[in-house]
């Protein structure tokens, strides 16, 4: 599974990514940013700079990853979306399994 997560900045993304990898909830996190986000929040259109994280894990850990990200995140309602990996390099997919709990 890939988990798409946004964070307020690269520092927050790195803090979250480090915790997820150290706790073996994910095998890897790519941090991309800054990105420009435009969204509606509490009736207002917001425009913010954010960082994006793409985490790789196995399906059985998705709920734990979501809960851990929510605990570490500064947002009231963080973007955390699980995306199935339908195919890929078998050796890489096995590495994800081997590096997670």
Q: At 55, phi and psi to the nearest 5?
A: -105, 145
Q: Round to whole Å and give the CA distance between 1 and 36.
A: 25
Read off the pLDDT of residues 15-34 as tens digits, 9 standing for 90 and up: 999 999 999 999 999 999 89
Read off the pLDDT of residues 45-87 as tens digits, 9 standing for 90 and up: 999 999 999 999 999 999 999 999 999 999 999 999 999 999 9
Q: Kindly list the structural domains of the chain, giving each domain's residue range(s) and its CATH number in brackets, ordered by start.
A: 2-99 (3.30.70.120)
């Amino acid at each position: 599974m890939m988990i798409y997560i946004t964070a307020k900045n690269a520092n927050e993304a790195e803090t979250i990514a480090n915790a997820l990898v150290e706790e073996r909830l994910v095998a890897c996190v790519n941090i991309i940013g800054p990105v420009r986000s435009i969204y509606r929040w509490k009736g207002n259109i917001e425009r913010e700079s954010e960082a994006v994280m793409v985490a790789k894990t196995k399906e059985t850990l998705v709920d734990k990853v979501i809960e851990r990200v929510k605990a570490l995140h500064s947002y009231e309602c963080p973007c955390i979306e699980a995306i199935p990996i339908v195919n890929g390099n078998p050796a890489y997919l096995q590495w994800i399994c081997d590096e997670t709990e």
